[in-house]
Structure 1
Amino acid sequence: MKANVTDLEIEKQLLPLFDTTGNTYARRALTHLLLTLPDTQEGVYERQRLLKAFIDNGYIHTEITYSRQDFEEVLHSFTRINDQYYYYDSNHLIATAQLLWRRRYRHSMRSRLAQLALFMEGLQIYFEQIDPALFPSAFGERITALQQYLSMFHAKEVARRIRKDRFGVRDQLFLLDLLNRKIDEKTARKHWETFYEFEAWLSLAKGIVKRGFVFPEFTAAGVQMKDFYHPALQQPVKNDLDTTGTVMLLTGPNMSGKSTLLKAIGICVYLAHAGVGVPASYCRLPYFDSITVIINLSDDLKHGYSHFMMEVQHLKNVVQEAHGGKRCFAVFDELFRGTNVDDALDISQQTINGLNKFHGSFFVISTHLYQLQPLLRAVNAWYIDCILKDQVPQFLYRLRAGWSDLKIGRIIFEKEGLPALLQRT
């Protein structure tokens, strides 16, 4: 799956909505899940099934509780398995002598091993309540392997002796033998990665339920979204969209919320293809092969491209993909604003008519070119509602079918007192 969605600001605006992870590595795993899209529709449904396993079986109400400091100390112990600090002979008598002889390390070693045992006890107790059979088979197998790995530490028994102040040489050597000989670095890393991914999926599932997101369905054609909104807004206005058109043309005055609505649509489409719930009460849409969202476009000084040239290049890439048989979703905010009005009108008309031929794709284009209305009478037009009350614009942020002919640029210009300022001598 190809996605050009920098303007959606996934890490900045969406990641915090889902992030309840307890360590840096689990957060990286969560970030990877959000930034990596499955290559097939079945891959998307597989992710949905995994998340639903967390939700439907109540695991979203469970907590993996540990302190970040304890985690970092324990992980540090695993990364130093081959250090002399941790190495003790395989012969029990010799190892006992080594442990007793190394006075410099004895107390710190005992403390570290006790911390390890208590941490692993917490993980073992948590994962004992997880039923691998409730998850998709591949992920369930990884959970089973993790459970078996955790059981190797006999952490509950060792932790019990620690609490009774009976954490002796035998227990310490047992743990050291695990670290030195029974568990290699590759095996440890594999199971830690399962732990990170489990916590990332759990965090994602919790975020979906907490925010009331819904899992979308894929359909052959048409886009239907009810009560969709931009999830980063504190008090969002929710909108409905039901269209079978290939091109959606969006108009509305300045400051009416066109860019935010474009981002909201883009986020819903993106999260749907990530296998995640979307910010809406209902969502059906086609499965797309590529996703492109171009909103905050600027010049590319490095390659000598003007704003208009950048618009043309992004559009060209999308059209070439559509010609190659891909089902494309693309958003263009104020397409061709980088050129003069006459050229913009001409090539906008040509672009919209051309894009309309790619059935199965969906293109959303916003524009201030109201002159397009008589040229594109059959276009799938929508607008963001705004009204004037006593010459004061009131922004409703409601999506309506049809065209907007409201112009408030001069009203705002005059309201800010610019005419008077410009006339001063």
Structure 2
Amino acid sequence: MAGTFLIDEQTLKDIQLRDYSGRTIYDFFDQAITEGGQDYFRDVFYTSLLNIEGIKDRQKKIRRLEPVANVDFPFYSVIVKDLEKYIHASHSGASHGISFLDFLGVRSPIYYYRKRSILEASEFLISSMKFYQEVNKHQVYEDMTEMIDLTNDCLNQIYKGKKHVTDKLKVNIFNIESLDRLIRYELAPKLKKLIRFFFEVDAYLAVAKISKSLGFCYPEVYPKNKTGEIKMDGVYHIFHKAPVKNDISLKQEKKIWFLTGANMAGKSSIIKSIASALYLTHIGFPVPADAIQTDLIDGVFTSINLQDNLELGYSHFYVEAIRLKEIVDQLPVDSNALIILDELFKGTNHSDASNAILDVMKSLAEVDGPYAIVSSHITELSKQLQDVPSIDFMRMKIEGDENGLPVFTYKIAPGIAEEKLGMWLLKQSGVFTSIDRLKGDK
């Protein structure tokens, strides 16, 4: 199945895939050293896939670089950028003779620019070929072999069969014109292809280094609706330095979660972990988890960080309602996308919110398709939802210490959260002490 993974700008911001004002998952992975590599990375990161072959191909191109993640990668952004410009500044193909000034030893700036560029082209070819050969030591890859052969062919023409050592390539007035013509005219198509491939390697190597150092997994992906399950073992959020791992299983027969938990128990963190893991899966990237098995899903949509629209006079509740409509309108009839609604309808009173959540969840349960996770503090709704077969009840587990104080485990578990910690957290914040200070002697 081919197509485009469905996701919108609000979701990209909600789960920190794209945000122009804060830290993002994009920034976490974007460690390519060249501008071309960064451009390639951006295109890949924001081009999610709905075909297994494409996902597996990206996974392969990242995984094969993990064994060489610590191998020296001796390339510099400025030099590669200058080389790219030099190659793309096409030579006319016409030959030019040696001028009288050349014999007098008068060298123009263009002479030194060409000489430097020829030597940089040589060094780029030698270094990249060595790196590709290092990759193929672990396993031979057809495209790597093709690039090695293509690079070797270019070097043989530059060195005319002699040993490929940049320090021994003597560029002078007698050969600079022929070398310049060779590189920018005769070899230009091959060199442009090699540079494009290098940018791909640069981008994927950045991801491979992170994956290897942090032990990320590569998800197993199946055709849409084959297993009817999204299964994650030991998933966690990419930004957590000391993460608590969770096991997740969303099944079509229990496709809707009613997720409850006290403030600070970790509801928002777990839903962001699930959503970002699914997105990374569908761009062929490694994921912060021990293992993931999932069918292809149509997309991910979230409603997490919404703001009142003062210009249009929309209340927070109405903004939430409009957002829910936007999400549903983007789904095809047979969709198996994941919808995440965090603290749904918090912009209205308790009674209205309860009725609205109840009606929305029952309506979603009647739709044959999308998965949904609805988080809420209104735990009493569970009694009215018990008879809906496709709804499962999950909670963020809180334990007590020897003094009876709450201990946040940040682990998800079946059931309904009964803890009411609002007042405890309010007292912990010190707000009442601050108010008492204002009272003075009174």
CA contact (8 A) 2:258 2:373 kept: yes
**Alignment-derived partner of residue 236 in structure 2:** 229
In 2: Cα distance, 1:404 partner to 1:181 partner: 70
Q: Do structure 1's residue 277 and structure 2's residue 286 form an aligned pair?
A: yes
Q: Judge which range, 355-364 or 252-261, deviates more.
A: 355-364
**Alignment-derived partner of residue 45 in structure 1:** 56
What TM-score results when the alignment is normalised by the length of structure 2? 0.81
Report how many residues are paired: 414
In 2: Cα distance, 1:155 partner to 1:304 partner: 71
How much is the aligned-residue C-alpha RMSD, in angstroms?
Answer: 3.3
Pairing partner for 1:240 from 226, 238, 247: 247
**Alignment-derived partner of residue 90 in structure 1:** 95
Question: Which structure has the highest helix share of the two?
Answer: 1
**Alignment-derived partner of residue 193 in structure 1:** 196
**Alignment-derived partner of residue 47 in structure 2:** 36
Pairing partner for 1:220 from 219, 223, 227: 227
The code of the aligned residue for 1:198 comes to V
**Alignment-derived partner of residue 211 in structure 1:** 214
In 2: Cα distance, 1:230 partner to 1:69 partner: 34
The code of the aligned residue for 1:276 comes to F
In 1: Cα distance, 2:421 partner to 2:56 partner: 45
**Alignment-derived partner of residue 24 in structure 1:** 35
In 2: Cα distance, 1:31 partner to 1:309 partner: 34
In 2: Cα distance, 1:300 partner to 1:171 partner: 68
Give the direction of change, closer, same or farther, for the CA distance of 1:116–1:189 in structure 2 (3 Å limit). Answer: closer
**Alignment-derived partner of residue 406 in structure 2:** 393
Residues 300-333 of structure 1: per-residue CA shift (max 9 Å, x gap): 4455543323322232233334462222112111
Q: Do structure 1's residue 309 and structure 2's residue 327 form an aligned pair?
A: no
Give the direction of change, closer, same or farther, for the CA distance of 1:351–1:13 in structure 2 (3 Å limit). Answer: same
Give the direction of change, closer, same or farther, for the CA distance of 1:114–1:285 in structure 2 (3 Å limit). Answer: closer
**Alignment-derived partner of residue 176 in structure 2:** 172
**Alignment-derived partner of residue 131 in structure 2:** 126
Q: Aligned with 1:2: secondary structure? A: coil
Pairing partner for 2:419 from 402, 406, 416: 406
Q: Do structure 1's residue 114 and structure 2's residue 119 form an aligned pair?
A: yes
Q: Aligned with 2:24: secondary structure? A: helix
Q: Aligned with 1:267: secondary structure? A: helix
**Alignment-derived partner of residue 266 in structure 2:** 257
Give the direction of change, closer, same or farther, for the CA distance of 1:161–1:38 in structure 2 (3 Å limit). Answer: closer
Q: Aligned with 1:382: secondary structure? A: strand
The code of the aligned residue for 1:197 comes to E
Give the Å deviation of 1:334.
0.6
Give the direction of change, closer, same or farther, for the CA distance of 1:60–1:165 in structure 2 (3 Å limit). Answer: closer
In 1: Cα distance, 2:286 partner to 2:148 partner: 27
Q: Which runs of 5+ in 1 are unaligned?
A: none
Q: Aligned with 1:363: secondary structure? A: strand
Identity of aligned residues (%): 21
In 1: Cα distance, 2:125 partner to 2:203 partner: 19
Give the direction of change, closer, same or farther, for the CA distance of 1:246–1:165 in structure 2 (3 Å limit). Answer: closer
Q: Aligned with 1:10: secondary structure? A: coil
In 2: Cα distance, 1:89 partner to 1:23 partner: 32
In 1: Cα distance, 2:160 partner to 2:29 partner: 32
Give the direction of change, closer, same or farther, for the CA distance of 1:317–1:107 in structure 2 (3 Å limit). Answer: closer
In 1: Cα distance, 2:398 partner to 2:7 partner: 33
Give the Å deviation of 1:60.
4.3
Q: Aligned with 2:247: secondary structure? A: strand
Residues 363-401 of structure 1: per-residue CA shift (max 9 Å, x gap): 111111122121112431111122354464321111111
Give the Å deviation of 1:142.
7.3
The code of the aligned residue for 1:238 comes to K
Give the direction of change, closer, same or farther, for the CA distance of 1:322–1:103 in structure 2 (3 Å limit). Answer: closer
Give the direction of change, closer, same or farther, for the CA distance of 1:416–1:214 in structure 2 (3 Å limit). Answer: closer
Which residues in structure 2 correspond to 1:310-389 (within 5 Å)? Answer: 310-322=319-331, 324-378=333-387, 379-389=391-401
Give the direction of change, closer, same or farther, for the CA distance of 1:97–1:159 in structure 2 (3 Å limit). Answer: farther
**Alignment-derived partner of residue 66 in structure 1:** 75
CA contact (8 A) 1:214 1:282 kept: yes
The code of the aligned residue for 2:318 comes to M
In 1: Cα distance, 2:154 partner to 2:318 partner: 57
Residues 4-35 of structure 1: per-residue CA shift (max 9 Å, x gap): 32222225432354344221221222232222
The code of the aligned residue for 1:45 comes to K
Q: Do structure 1's residue 6 and structure 2's residue 18 form an aligned pair?
A: no
